[in-house]
């Protein structure tokens, strides 16, 4: 393989990466070396104005988190999320690990997943050898076809919300029939009344996942929580040991989850920013298909390669291999980023500078 | 249950905790409220003068670790630990999680553990439903009694080291017979020539665990590594997902593992401090049974309750339920801590102030 072929093959692989998952700005920067700097990553649903992390005392790095420090974090989580009276809350080093462990902790069986949704759920179950059925709506609770069901609520990328009352009623019937229900609430902070954690009792067989990654903007911190009825708590402890979350993360999570003023102001800001973003994209001919206050799902005005178009402006958005005309776009962090998004949209709607029509990603290296 | 009974029962539970695991200074402080402050925690084998963590940029908390950042950390780990040509290295959020996952990732079967050793290995296998056999030496490689063997090398708490050549020869024979070998090298930084990672090829079926918790003194960071032959890497990735280690931890680990000057100076300092510690304890009538340069294992001069004696001086040491006359004692961090240890030892060897002879822990609350 000569140098050029190797380069092209590597680029092809990386370009596919951009369609598989958000947050790959290092791959994007390699593919578009002449794009403006710094890269603006709108490919995730992460709040770009994160909870302001203070400096952490060195002791937290040095010794294992104390039981009292872990309790303080769990109390803060229960206080903010709510906690059904019969439930326990287990910290995890990012909800991704919880997603990966689920197929190993629950009994084997076929799993249904409400789709389209966050891809890791299907990957985790398939890699563990389970059969995965993609569903477009809640199944009949009495159905014998499935053992488990995964619901992301609010859903990513379309923002579909199953109201708590509806999902709670389903959860009761579904688990009474001997099934398990996994509810990934990674975006529930911006969907009031959606979380199952407002239930007075959590049905045995329900697993709720929460995370500090999205709303608090602390994806790099790797802190999430698993909430289950108390008898199921010990299996999670057994799989994770006593200190799954780092000392600094314990302190940061406890402080962030108690910061009511920041939480209120952030909800307001995110709602305002989402309206601004919708407006900008609509001006460029995009149609708003859905979203939450942390990201929008848009249908492009044509079949041209908008991932490429935005990437040339140093903006990474999220494209989807299965639905090439749809794009998930997160919120800009500051006025410079808003301006670059606006300019990229304006350039796109000027006929002279319209992006090439192309079905596949055609990155332009070293230009 | 009246107030006093509740207090006593809680204290009893906490006092047991002190014998189960190191690092429980919050429990100790509750049990001995009139002990001098701050508590000196010598109950672990953690280097008390940790690698100096710099301030971490906020971006590392906010976005998921980039693939390039994870690679940089893994390159640094491979550079420091060594990496057999056929092996891959997987980051884990603390080696404790790796210990917990092992029974779920390896085929089911009976496990032998070289004992006495770090208790989590047996706990993890038992909780996963495996039968655990405690061994005092390496088994016959052809033995059909066991599927798996766990060796902590150097061992905790006695510091026993199986030289690499001996363990490597055993590893080849053992894994060729279809068995798995888990080698926990949590303390291998202070045992030159002990690590299996100097093998040119790692036998398939060998799992080596490393950690930044002990030698680098960063137990709160929760960073460890699993090294296995390449075909076994994907099962670990599947269980952990793409971002098992936090963004700040990625940066800190990469820097620490490359800090050759600190590593060399620290090895020298730890060796010097261990000699000083042995001398102090020997003056008080203790016998050195073993240890590494990160902790010593000592036999007390009598059957009195030395855990209680040291705790009254605000020093937490590690006691063992099964061998009540043995104590594992880590290294003091600074001259104030050395002085308090010396004074506590001197007080102990003066007949008038000898601790009470007692077989069980008798904490003295609120005195």
Strand stretches in A169-244, DSSP E: 180-184, 206-211, 224-229
Amino acid B18: pLDDT: 59
Distance separating alpha carbons of residues A331 and A47, to the nearest angstrom: 7
Specify the higher pLDDT residue, A29 or A87.
Answer: A87
Longest dimension (CA), chain B: 64
Q: Residue-wise pLDDT tens for chain B (367 aa)?
A: 333 333 333 334 455 555 555 557 788 888 899 999 999 999 999 999 999 999 999 999 999 999 999 999 999 999 999 999 999 999 999 999 999 999 999 999 999 999 999 999 999 999 999 999 999 999 999 888 999 999 999 999 999 999 999 999 999 999 999 999 999 999 999 999 999 999 999 999 999 999 999 999 999 999 999 999 999 999 999 999 999 999 999 999 999 999 999 999 999 999 999 999 999 999 999 999 999 999 999 999 999 999 999 999 999 999 998 899 999 999 999 999 999 999 999 987 765 555 544 444 444 333 3
Q: Residue A62 and residue B41: Cβ atoms within 8 Å?
A: no
Q: Residue A104 and residue B239: Cβ atoms within 8 Å?
A: yes
Q: Residue A244 and residue B222: Cβ atoms within 8 Å?
A: yes
Contacts of B219 in chain A (CB under 8 A): 62-64, 247
Contacts of B248 in chain A (CB under 8 A): 220-221, 248
Contact by Cβ (8 Å): A343, A11: no
Q: Residue A55 and residue B58: Cβ atoms within 8 Å?
A: no
Amino acid B16: pLDDT: 57
ipTM: 0.89
Choose, out of B63, B101, B126, the residue to mutate when testing the contact with A (most A CBs < 10 Å). Answer: B63
Contact by Cβ (8 Å): A218, B61: yes
Contacts of B58 in chain A (CB under 8 A): 50, 53
Q: Residue A53 and residue B58: Cβ atoms within 8 Å?
A: yes
Which of these, B70, B241, B61, B57, lies nearest to A218 by C-alpha position?
B61
- pLDDT tens for A127-169 read 999 999 999 999 999 888 999 999 999 999 999 999 999 999 9
Q: Residue B239 and residue A63: Cβ atoms within 8 Å?
A: no
Give the count of alpha carbons within 13 A of A215, CB side only.
29
Closest to B61 (Cβ–Cβ): which among A50, A60, A67? A50
Contacts of A44 in chain B (CB under 8 A): 63-64
Closest-CA distance, B349 to chain A, in angstroms, reads 31
CB burial readout B82-97, b (16+ within 10 A) else e: ebbeebbbbbbbbbbb
Tell me the H-state helices in B182-257.
233-240, 247-257
For the cut 80, the answer to whether the pLDDT of residue A18 exceeds it is: no
Distance separating alpha carbons of residues B184 and B182, to the nearest angstrom: 6
Cross-strand partners of B41? B316
Distance separating alpha carbons of residues A155 and A188, to the nearest angstrom: 9
């Amino acid at each position: 393989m000569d140098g050029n072929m190797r380069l092209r093959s590597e680029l092809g692989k990386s370009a596919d990466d951009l369609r598989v998952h958000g947050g790959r700005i290092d791959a994007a920067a390699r593919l578009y070396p002449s794009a403006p700097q710094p890269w603006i990553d709108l490919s995730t649903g992460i709040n770009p104005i994160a909870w302001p992390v203070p400096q952490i005392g060195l002791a937290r790095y040095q010794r294992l988190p104390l039981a009292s420090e872990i309790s303080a974090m769990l109390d803060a989580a229960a206080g903010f999320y709510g906690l059904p009276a019969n439930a326990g809350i287990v910290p995890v080093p990012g909800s991704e690990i919880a997603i990966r462990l689920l197929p190993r902790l629950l009994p084997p069986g076929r799993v249904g997943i409400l789709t389209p949704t966050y891809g890791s759920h299907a990957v985790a179950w398939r890699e563990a050898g389970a059969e995965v059925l993609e569903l477009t709506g809640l199944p009949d609770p009495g159905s014998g076809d499935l053992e488990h069901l995964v619901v992301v609520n609010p859903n990513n990328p379309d923002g579909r919300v199953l109201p708590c009352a509806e999902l709670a009623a389903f959860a009761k019937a579904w688990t009474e029939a001997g099934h398990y229900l996994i509810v990934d609430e990674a975006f529930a902070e911006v969907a009031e009344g959606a979380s199952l954690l407002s239930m007075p009792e959590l049905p045995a067989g329900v697993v709720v996942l929460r995370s500090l990654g999205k709303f608090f903007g602390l994806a790099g911190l790797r802190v999430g929580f698993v909430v289950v009825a108390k008898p199921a708590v010990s299996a999670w402890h057994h799989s994770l040991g006593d200190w799954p979350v780092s000392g600094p993360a314990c302190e940061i999570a406890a402080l962030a989850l108690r910061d009511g003023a920041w939480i209120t102001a952030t909800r307001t800001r995110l709602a305002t920013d989402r309206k601004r973003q919708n407006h900008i994209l609509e001006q460029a001919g995009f149609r708003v298909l859905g979203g939450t206050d942390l990201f929008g799902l848009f249908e492009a005005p044509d079949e041209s390669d908008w991932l490429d178009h935005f990437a040339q402006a140093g903006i990474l958005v999220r494209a989807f291999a299965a639905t090439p005309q749809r794009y998930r776009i997160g919120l800009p962090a500051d006025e410079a980023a808003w301006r670059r998004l606006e300019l990229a949209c304006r350039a796109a709607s000027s006929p002279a500078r319209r992006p090439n029509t192309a079905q596949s990603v055609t990155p332009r290296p070293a230009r």
